[in-house]
Chains A and B, each alone.
Chain A
């Protein structure tokens, strides 16, 4: 009411001027944000594209990464990623199921678990690195290895996986639960056959965020998986991930800039592809559940 009166008192020209200003500033902000991304991408592409080739993707690095390729580094990255996901996914999703289905939302236990996950989410990754070094590398005797790196990253992934999956499960209508119960289905069967499939898009989103986090991580791996750039022969070998390789090339290796650019380009393109794939998967999944073929 009051607003309408003042607006009419000011008259339309003033409003139109304000409207236009608001519209333009929104455009400018949007442009700025995409400009940052495009700038980064074009900078990487300009510096790295001539270095990029099939042999760069497949060959082992030479001369501390100045020459050769990133073959062994890609292998280490995939291994670390796999270990982190294999360990963190079942744990995270099971915790989410427990929090949303088995524990009432205002119980003390649920609060404690959720709170500790929030704290875990806020812990800087270098602290995870030091913890992983002390626990996995030294206490469990895994040394500087892909295994201890992957396990450390699994700890880091838990908060993301649990919170996305829990939110997805909670968003499901209660009618799924009550009608499953009315059909005499056990809680476990309801969770496995009805709720988890229905929450798949949320689970995929969590998975995607997790993959992104693992691929981009350096600090937590510095003291756990180490930075040996040889091809790993077992999970107990030290291995250098892509992000570590970029860090090492740009900070410690004079003349490694071109290779660093190329590696970063590979990393960004890989993340974009994974994003795209997961997005497609989630939407087609959703559509498959609602629309006829």
Chain B
């Protein structure tokens, strides 16, 4: 699964044919984090029908940082991620307990505006999921839905977000050609651009590199690093080396009796270098999971 060499992808430029990109204006790099919680999760539990998926999760996600969720498959990382923007609502029989607060607002509260929440919390999926429409339309459609309808405004946002993900140079002369004609890595960056267009504060990423080849995956990883600071990023990854390279905080999930639990949460260095829990140590060293 994990074909990438740690440290192989550090430079900003790759010579791959269509995944070559030039850095956009956002070169600030990880401005490190003020430990100011933006997402507060308190004894959160999730169940689908009778099946308990997550139990008693409590952690904080800090503003401007990258938080990596690691752990074996089926331990509820993705479910946890999609709870943050309430995408779990799609699943029939989904019930929750405990609370998640995003920017001091209870996302399950009755006064929570779902559209605003999803504008504030963007999501990027494991497989690139552009709509089968043109590149331009892919970004324009959600913008319109959020009330940005004036053509010049839409066009300038499209240009800005495509520059942010380093895609503008590659596609600016074919904005109206189909998004599905792009390569996998380009499609994934388009999806990130589409999420950025709504000016979110938080980006949820569900293994955004795992469906891409090593070069495209490196480009996306570099992009994530550049986005950090401006955005708060929560990323699920099976690639421990990647988590170690990019994340500031790490949360280690494990299943016990088919129920996902949070074993350990802390600074990335601490989790990787001095794990407090023996399960974490075993997982990180490749002895378990």
Interface residues of A (CB under 8 A from B): 104, 173, 175-186, 189, 193-194, 197-198, 288-293
Contact = CB atoms under 8 A, between A and B. Distances in A.
A240 to B, nearest CB: 43
Contacts of B146: 184
B178 A290 contact: yes
Contacts of A289: 132-133, 178, 180
Interface string B162-198: 0000000000001001101100000000010011001
B145 interface: yes
B87 A292 contact: no
Interface residues of B, number: 31
Nearest to B178: A289
Interface of B: 85, 87, 90, 92, 114-119, 122-123, 125, 127, 129, 131-133, 141-142, 145-146, 174, 177-178, 180-181, 191, 194-195, 198
Contact of A178 (B87, B92, B142, B178): B87
A288 to B, nearest CB: 6
B87 A184 contact: no
A289 B137 CA distance: 12
7 contacts: A178-B129, A182-B123, A182-B125, A183-B122, A183-B195, A185-B142, A186-B115
Given A184-B118, A289-B132, A194 B141 contact: yes
Nearest to A200: B132
A189 B132 CA distance: 15
A180 B122 CA distance: 11
A177 B90 contact: yes
A70 B181 CA distance: 48
A202 B177 CA distance: 22
Given A178-B125, A185-B145, A293-B177, 19 more contacts: A173-B129, A175-B127, A177-B90, A179-B131, A179-B191, A182-B118, A182-B123, A182-B125, A182-B195, A183-B118, A183-B141, A183-B142, A183-B145, A183-B194, A185-B142, A186-B145, A197-B132, A198-B131, A291-B181
